[in-house]
Structure 1
Amino acid sequence: MAPRIVSVFGATGVQGSAVLRALLKDGTFTPRAIARNPESEAALRLKARGIEVFEGDSLDKASLVSALRGSEAVFAVTAPIHPIKAEGEGPNEITQGKNMVDAAKKAGVKFFIFSSLPDVTKMSGGKYKNVLHCDQKAVVEEYLQSSGLANASIHLGAFLENYWKFGLLKKTATGFDVAVPNFTATDREAFTWVERDVPPAVLALLNNYTDPSKNISGKSYPIVNATMPYAKLAAMTAEVLGVEVTFTSAPPTGVLPMDEMYAAHAEYSGFYTATPVPNPDLVALGVQFGTIEEFLDMEVKPRFGH
Structure 2
Amino acid sequence: MSSRIVSVFGATGLQGSSVVEALLKDGTFTPRAITRNPESEAALKLKERGVEVVKGDSGDKASLVTALQGSEAVFAVTLPLISPILTSGPSELTQGKNIVDASKEAGVTFVVFRCSSLPGVKKMSGGKYTKASPFDDKEEIEQYLKASGLANASILTGGFLENFWVYTSTGFDISIPYNPTSLQRFTWVQHDVGEAVLALLKSYTDPSKSVSGKTYPVITAAITFPDLAARVAKTLGVQVTFTSVATSGVPILDEMFAAQSEYNGFHTATAIPNPDLVALGAKFGTIEKFMETEVKKRFSQ
Under a length normalisation based on structure 1, what TM-score does the superposition of the two structures give?
0.92
The corresponding residue for 1:103 is 102
Counterparts in 2 of 1:137 and 1:242: CA distance versus 1, 3 Å: same
Equivalence for 1:132: 133
In 2, Cα distance between the equivalents of 1:233 and 1:19? 25
Specify the alignment match of 2:233 in structure 1: 238
**Would you say the 8 A contact 2:2–2:28 is kept in 1?**
no
**Corresponding residue number in structure 2 for 1:170:** 167
- Aligned partner of residue 208 in structure 2, secondary structure: helix
Cα gap change, 1:42 to 1:302, in 2 (>3 Å): closer
Looking at structure 1, the residues matched to 242 and 83 of structure 2 have their Cα atoms a distance apart, in angstroms, of: 30
One-letter identity of the residue aligned with 1:108: G
> Which secondary structure does the structure 1 equivalent of 2:265 belong to?
coil
Instruction: Give the whole-Å Cα distance in 2 for the aligned partners of 1:2 and 1:29.
Output: 5
* 2:143 paired with 1:142: yes
Q: Which residue of structure 2 aligns with residue 87 of structure 1?
A: none
| Whole-angstrom distance in 1 between the partners of 2:163 and 2:83 | 22
For the residue of structure 2 that corresponds to 1:161, the secondary structure is helix
Unaligned runs of 5+ in 1: 85-89
Q: How big is the shift at 1:255?
A: 2.2
SS of 1:201's equivalent in the other structure is: helix
- Counterpart Cα distance in 1 of 2:166 and 2:2: 46
Structure-1 residue corresponding to 2:64: 64
Question: Once structures 1 and 2 are overlaid, which stretch shifts more, 199-208 or 122-131?
Answer: 122-131
Structure 1 position 280, deviation (Å): 1.2
Q: Against the structure 1 CA distance between its residues 83 and 252, is the aligned structure 2 distance closer, same or farther, given a 3 Å change threshold?
A: closer
SS at match of 1:34: strand
Identify which range, 140-149 or 18-27, moves more after superposition: 18-27
The answer (yes or no) to whether the contact 2:82–2:252 under 8 Å persists in 1 is: no
Residue 190 of structure 1 aligns with an amino acid whose one-letter code is R
Count of aligned positions: 295
Name the amino acid aligned to 1:171: T
1:94 — aligned with what? 93
Contact in 1 for aligned 2:65/2:103 (Cα 8 Å): yes
Amino acid in the other structure paired with 2:145: L
Q: Which residue of 1 aligns with 2:300?
A: 305
Q: Percent identity?
A: 62
Q: CA deviation at 1:128?
A: 0.8
**Residue identity matched to 1:170:** Y
Whole-Å separation in 2 of the counterparts to 1:2 and 1:196:
22
Q: Which runs of 4+ in 1 moved over 3 A?
A: 81-84
Tell me, in whole angstroms, the C-alpha distance in 1 between the residues paired with 2:141 and 2:268: 23
Unaligned runs of 5+ in 2: none
Q: Which amino acid aligns with 1:269?
A: N
User: Aligned-residue CA RMSD in angstroms?
Assistant: 1.7
Taking the aligned partners of 1:54 and 1:259, their CA distance within structure 2 comes to 36
Instruction: Work out the CA distance in 2 between the residues paired with 1:9 and 1:221.
Output: 19
Residue 181 of structure 2 is matched in structure 1 by: 186
Q: What is the deviation of 1:172?
A: 4.9
Q: Distance in 2 between matches of 1:288 and 1:45?
A: 26
**Which of residues 200, 203, 209 is equivalent to 1:205?**
200
Task: Tell me which amino acid in the other structure corresponds to 2:260.
Answer: H
Alignment of 1:229-268 (within 5 A): 229-268=224-263
Structure 2 CA distance for partners of 1:83 and 1:244, relative to 1, 3 Å: closer
* Structure 2 equivalent of residue 278 of structure 1: 273
Alignment match, 2:38: 38
